[in-house]
Structure 1
Amino acid sequence: MIPSRRKDLGGFEVGRVLPWTKRRMVGPFIFFDHMGPVNFPPNVPRTTDVRPHPHIGLSTITYLFDGEIVHRDSVGFHQLIRPGEVNWMTAGSGISHSERFDTIREQGGALHGIQAWVALPDFAEEADPSFVHFDATELPSLAEPGMSVKVIAGSAYGMTSPVKTHSPLFYAHIELAPGRITQVCGEYSERAVYVAKGSVHIDGELYQAGQMAVLTPGAMPVITAFDPSIVMMLGGEPVGPRHIWWNFVSSSKDRIEQAKADWRAGRIKMPVGDDREFIPLPEDPPPPPEPMS
């Protein structure tokens, strides 16, 4: 069991799950943050926004249950992120982006979601940066009495997401009514279940909101909801050891040093339409990775 470690970002809290001291990754998933839930008051300050910052060697996904975030990146995309949608950004050789609360700044509003990073395999670490968006209605889903499933990426429950990934993985959003039973997806060597809301029994052991269960390879445990619950299932095949420093992920320490020098020298482009401020490179040793992916 991995507990989330809560951190105040000066306006709302996130719970850091991955990386953890005893478990750095689950499949290619190297970073996992639970954002909120929080209700922003009217006139939420701009200091709550995540200013432009860089990434290399990974793909990011900000998945919302509630609220809105405005995404801008150096490839030129300006996208409103809404609940149930996929906004999949591949940093590859280098990208910068910002995530702001422009649409809820004046009147306030709720925010609740998950931010995850997927480490790219060796052959894709220097891929051209890119961004894709899929509406909630474009993602495969099913609804049964007491349960709904949406496949965000990869394949699960007999469904396959349209999101192109660079290595075998899966990521799914499941909602369960009290007493509803389901089983964890198989086929992948590394898998985990994260409880985002409510509480569930996994093979009889209780897991509550903010806890991740990392499963034994090959195990097919039964999940039973104790309360109305939201669980995120994730995993895939390992891509090999990865270094993580601030917002940079790579198989090479030298590549991370180059990324640090590039951001310090301004060689990584700023987000189009959002280039008046940025997060400077931290001093060594770095703080934990920026919670907003």
Structure 2
Amino acid sequence: MSIFKVGNQRIDNLIPGTCDKRAFPTSELTYKADSHLAGTDPFIMLDHIGPSTMPNNWGLSGDQGIHPHRGFETITFMFKGNLHHLDTVFEERPFLTNGAVQQMNAGKGIRHGGDFWADKETNEFHEVQLWVNTPAHEKMSEPYVRNYSAKQISNIKHDNLKLRVISGSYQDQTGPVRTFADIRVLHGSMLESSQQESSAIKLEQKHSSQLLFVMTGKLTVNNVPTMAGETLVIKDLLEIDLNGSQNCQFLLISGVPWHEDFASGGPFVMNTKEQIRQAFDDAKSGVF
């Protein structure tokens, strides 16, 4: 039974003007586990954008930034700010705004981008994008995009915690996002500063991959102090005890690994390098 901590990797110009960090993959935390590194399978990548206070009337047009994907799903969390998603599925759907979540299956191929602008009252922009792998037999499935407003996401008051159930189940609540992978995603916030009494979260025992990423504030998990931008890898525990600073926010994600061959190249995630080459050829020739 163990918890160990890893840092993040700074990335530049993911969204110009924001503070961007990559929780994984990094030199310490990769998709495939080996004797020295922890594995994140079925999760491929977690990028944390912000929280950043932007200039008045800040915004970015995605018209020039449309780019392709194939072979995985994304979950986009819009904690603060707005996104008008543009893609080649060509369906009208609501903007993502404060508290909303989007699920996108890239499937056999999709191109997307978006128009971004900050929260109009606070000028804040805060987003996370999580990539989730799909199994080999679903990589060429039909692409789709689904948006869920904050009102469609269940909230649980649990001790000193507010938990939003994004995917999977906790207690008697189920999240709206359902991926091909068997995962659970909880967005947690500390309601008050708590250094004495901890709040417990039961872990999903069928999930061997368990990760906790601290987005803001300070959080102590089973006596392991954790700062914003750090990730905890959790092994063989039934539950975790948390206390931390007021308004500390974190993501607790867990899942069942695919244990399949893994190949990635830029915006594509497949099972072989030949499939990656084919994806680049198809994108270049206009197949998607």
The answer to whether 1:181 aligns with 2:199 is yes
Cα displacement string for residues 119-149 of structure 1 (whole angstroms, at most 9, x for unaligned residues): 1012211110011122211122212453211
Q: Tell me if the contact between 1:27 and 1:191 (Cα under 8 Å) persists in the aligned partners.
A: no
Greater relative contact order (Cα < 8 A, sep 6+): 1
The change in CA–CA distance for 1:223 and 1:232 in structure 2 (over 3 A counts) is: same
Does 130-139 or 175-184 show the bigger shift? 175-184
Q: Tell me if the contact between 1:43 and 1:107 (Cα under 8 Å) persists in the aligned partners.
A: no
State the AA in 2 paired with 1:69.
L
The change in CA–CA distance for 1:22 and 1:105 in structure 2 (over 3 A counts) is: closer
The answer to whether 1:7 aligns with 2:11 is yes
Cα displacement string for residues 146-187 of structure 1 (whole angstroms, at most 9, x for unaligned residues): 321111112234421132221210111011122152225222
The change in CA–CA distance for 1:56 and 1:89 in structure 2 (over 3 A counts) is: same
Q: Secondary structure at the match of 1:100?
A: strand
Q: Tell me if the contact between 2:200 and 2:239 (Cα under 8 Å) persists in the aligned partners.
A: no
Distance 1:107 1:158 in 2: 34
After TM superposition, give the deviation of residue 77 of structure 1 in Å.
3.1
Q: Tell me if the contact between 1:4 and 1:210 (Cα under 8 Å) persists in the aligned partners.
A: yes
After TM superposition, give the deviation of residue 97 of structure 1 in Å.
0.4
1:27-38 superposed matches below 5 A: 27-38=41-52
Query: Which residue of 248, 267, 270 corresponds with 1:229?
Result: 248
The residue that corresponds to 1:247 in the other structure is: 267
What value does the CA root-mean-square deviation take over the aligned residues? 2.3
Query: Which residue of 81, 102, 112 corresponds with 2:96?
Result: 81
The answer to whether 1:132 aligns with 2:146 is yes
The answer to whether 1:99 aligns with 2:105 is no
Distance 1:166 1:108 in 2: 36
Distance 1:155 1:97 in 2: 29
Identity %: 25
Query: Which residue of 204, 229, 244 corresponds with 2:223?
Result: 204
The residue that corresponds to 2:35 in the other structure is: none
Cα displacement string for residues 225-266 of structure 1 (whole angstroms, at most 9, x for unaligned residues): 244311110010011242221111111211111111122222
Q: Tell me if the contact between 1:122 and 1:251 (Cα under 8 Å) persists in the aligned partners.
A: yes
TM normalised by structure 1 equals: 0.83
| Runs of 5+ unmatched residues, structure 2 | 32-39
Moved over 6 A (4+): 47-50, 105-108
The residue that corresponds to 1:289 in the other structure is: none
Distance 1:183 1:89 in 2: 28
Q: Secondary structure at the match of 2:235?
A: coil
Does 202-211 or 14-23 show the bigger shift? 14-23
TM normalised by structure 2 equals: 0.85
Q: Tell me if the contact between 1:143 and 1:149 (Cα under 8 Å) persists in the aligned partners.
A: yes
1:1-293 superposed matches below 5 A: 1-9=5-13, 10-25=16-31, 26-44=40-58, 46=60, 51-78=65-92, 79-101=94-116, 103-104=117-118, 109-144=123-158, 146-176=160-190, 177-179=192-194, 180-187=198-205, 188-240=207-259, 241-268=261-288
After TM superposition, give the deviation of residue 203 of structure 1 in Å.
1.3
Does 142-151 or 163-172 show the bigger shift? 142-151
Does 43-52 or 255-264 show the bigger shift? 43-52
Distance 1:182 1:49 in 2: 45
Q: Tell me if the contact between 1:191 and 1:235 (Cα under 8 Å) persists in the aligned partners.
A: yes
Distance 1:47 1:229 in 2: 31
